[in-house]
Amino acid sequence: MASTLEKFIHSLDPRALPRVLQIQSGIYFQGSVYEMFGNECCLSTGEVIKIIGFKINKLIASICENNEVSRFSAKVELPLNFPGLYKVVADKTPYVSIEEITRKVSIGPTRFGHPCFYSPEDIKLANITIKHGEQITFNSVEEVDGTMAVNCGVVRNNQSHSFTLPLTQKGKFYECEDDQIYTLKEIAEWKIPKCRNRIVKLSNTLHTWDCSNPLPENFDGCLILTPVYEVQAVMKFRKDIVHILSDLDVEVKDITDCYDISSFLQPLSLEDVFERTSKEFPVIAEIMEGPSGSQKPYNLLHTGKEIVIYKKYQATRVLASEIRSDSPKRHFLIPMSYKGKFKRRPREFPTAYDLEIARSEKEQLHVVATKAFDSPHKELFSVSVGDQFLVQQCQTSEVLYEGRKKVIDVLACEQILSDTYKKVLLPMYMEGGFVEVIHDKKQYQLSEICKEFRLPFNVKVSVRDLSIEEDVLAAVPGLQFEEEITDSYLLIGSTSSPVESWEIPVYRLNMSVHLLSRDIQTVVPPATKTTVEEISEEQYYMVRRYENQTLHPPPRPPKKPT
């Protein structure tokens, strides 16, 4: 049965990909050249294409009144980077099963992928009863004892209780109210269900408004968002991937079940290649769609180029960020093969608790106070700007508080005076400011820093890596090494000039290839070139792990009554 491309894509489950479609009719029924994102393709009646992926490209917005499109509202087109922060309005139409939720709602590992629902009826399970109206968080979908189910959780009395709901579970499930705020891009990626529109409310008024803004001036109401998808497709006699917008006025018919899908080239993402067994490497591949970016080797990986994929493996990187007070900061992943050298830079510590975390047995931590602190207890030390301290150890101390003795955590230090040292105690909750005094002038290799010091750690490049044509780290005035991460890589090289090889990240490089059945002349890869990878802010937060694991200072006791 034929349908519009738009209707087909809006109802398509990504898990059902790939699909083979035949063009039925539309404004392109005589055949026409259609250009999108630099790709030209001719969509004529009877043309067969294979859909391999789709993602939201832009949003069509209408002003919403009483959960309906306003009669006076014109539809406007919003790019995904349109400014503003938005709150998601809960959908009042229920889902009728857990299976429908998993088919239409994005559930994934990030905080955006944990949608919440409630049931108007109690749900009785083997080990727990979910009460009506209780908020259920959907965490992941996986197979449990041979049955597909959703891992869920409820919070009761500040304690989390986990359970599973099978996809066959029927009932009415309503979206919970969401008090988080999101960018339009985050909503497009995670918060628009399949086959449904999404109502959002502008949470913060746009700072600037000009005549190019498609929304009314001072608008602070609700919008109904309808997605327009960018469809990635393969055509029968082409070696590249074409991109088509879903609102293209053509009709299509799904002929997957009666068509030999193997007659198309099989595009593979880097994730697909990485899933192959280690014994299947090395392989030769032709690039169907290369990555964007001018950084080497990405600028060499253009469409049509043949490469050798030598092997897959896990490799260690150090996640580093530029030290600067304003944003945006630059972020880097540095390989252990980096041959430059670093000198230490002073660290900054906002609390006494941070001094305790940074303290090490290898060397004594020497700091200068950059902010005054007046202690509410006579037993503890009051700090002035410029005071210098050697950090000793954490201990407990008795203080007099409202006429009663109280035991609190303190940091024992030695204050450096002109000709002597004075033992002092600083409250662990102390909100001050300290900067490190560096006595160490040694130059360190990256591996030495990771072995000898606790991260995060501040450095600057003192000797650049001469094996890299342009060492981007050398131009950065200061770096903070934040943590070591382990990530997935493919080792690749050029078939035409196999003199060097490069490591490319599997999960951060948008690239498609198809494998060639050709013998490989060189099985041993040539020398691997060191590449410092600069990553975006979004990629930085995806790879960063330590943020949520860092301990926080203990709470400050109540202040003295005035």
- Is residue 277 located within the same domain as residue 339? yes
Question: Phi first, then psi: what are they for 280, rounded to 5°?
Answer: -80, -5
The band of 206, judged by pLDDT with boundaries at 50, 70 and 90, is low
Q: In this predicted model, what pLDDT tens digit does every residue of 356-401 receive, in sequence order?
A: 888 887 888 999 999 998 888 888 888 999 999 999 988 888 888 7
- Is residue 339 located within the same domain as residue 278? yes
CATH number of the domain at 250, please. Answer: 2.30.30
The H-or-E segment that residue 357 falls in is: helix 352-358
- Is residue 313 located within the same domain as residue 360? no
Q: What's the rounded Cα separation, in Å, for the pair 526 and 532?
A: 19
User: Does pLDDT of 546 surpass 70?
Assistant: no
431: containing domain: 348-436
The mean of the pLDDT values for the chain is: 85
Give how many domains the chain has, as a whole number. Answer: 4
> Is the residue at 63 inside a domain?
no
User: Does pLDDT of 207 surpass 60?
Assistant: no
> Is the residue at 397 inside a domain?
yes
The band of 14, judged by pLDDT with boundaries at 50, 70 and 90, is confident
pLDDT at position 533 is 92
Which segment of 40-54, 259-273, 278-292, 301-315 scores lowest on mean pLDDT?
A: 40-54
> Is the residue at 520 inside a domain?
yes
User: Does pLDDT of 312 surpass 90?
Assistant: yes
Q: In this predicted model, what pLDDT tens digit does every residue of 429-469 receive, in sequence order?
A: 787 789 999 998 999 999 999 998 888 899 999 999 998 88
The band of 111, judged by pLDDT with boundaries at 50, 70 and 90, is confident
Mean pLDDT (whole number) for 106-124:
90
pLDDT at position 99 is 95
Q: Do strands 76-79 and 48-65 pair parallel, antiparallel, or not at all (unpaired)? A: antiparallel
Cβ–Cβ under 8 Å, residues 117 and 151: no
- Is residue 159 located within the same domain as residue 277? no
Q: What's the rounded Cα separation, in Å, for the pair 6 and 228?
A: 8
Question: Phi first, then psi: what are they for 515, rounded to 5°?
Answer: -80, 140
pLDDT at position 41 is 59
> Is the residue at 463 inside a domain?
yes
- Is residue 113 located within the same domain as residue 146? yes
pTM: 0.65
State the sign of the Cα–Cα–Cα–Cα dihedral 89, 95, 97, 99.
negative
- Is residue 79 located within the same domain as residue 154? yes
The band of 26, judged by pLDDT with boundaries at 50, 70 and 90, is low
**Most confident residue range from 61-65, 167-171, 287-291, 361-365:** 167-171
The band of 291, judged by pLDDT with boundaries at 50, 70 and 90, is confident
> Is the residue at 341 inside a domain?
yes
- Is residue 76 located within the same domain as residue 202? yes
Boundary-marking domain end, from 436, 466, 491: 436
Q: What's the rounded Cα separation, in Å, for the pair 543 and 50?
A: 33
Q: What's the rounded Cα separation, in Å, for the pair 438 and 478?
A: 14
Say which residue the tokens 């990986």 belong to: 301
Cβ–Cβ under 8 Å, residues 161 and 154: yes
- Is residue 213 located within the same domain as residue 120? yes
Q: Which tokens is 147 given?
A: 């049955």
pLDDT at position 210 is 57
The band of 119, judged by pLDDT with boundaries at 50, 70 and 90, is very high
> Is the residue at 247 inside a domain?
yes
- Is residue 246 located within the same domain as residue 288? no
- Is residue 180 located within the same domain as residue 94? yes
> Is the residue at 76 inside a domain?
yes
Boundary-marking domain end, from 378, 405, 436: 436
> Is the residue at 359 inside a domain?
yes
- Is residue 36 located within the same domain as residue 84? no
- Is residue 119 located within the same domain as residue 198? yes
Residue 51: closest CA among 226, 209, 223, 233: 233
Q: Do strands 198-202 and 86-88 pair parallel, antiparallel, or not at all (unpaired)? A: antiparallel
CATH number of the domain at 369, please. Answer: 2.30.30.40
Residue 383: closest CA among 358, 349, 407: 349
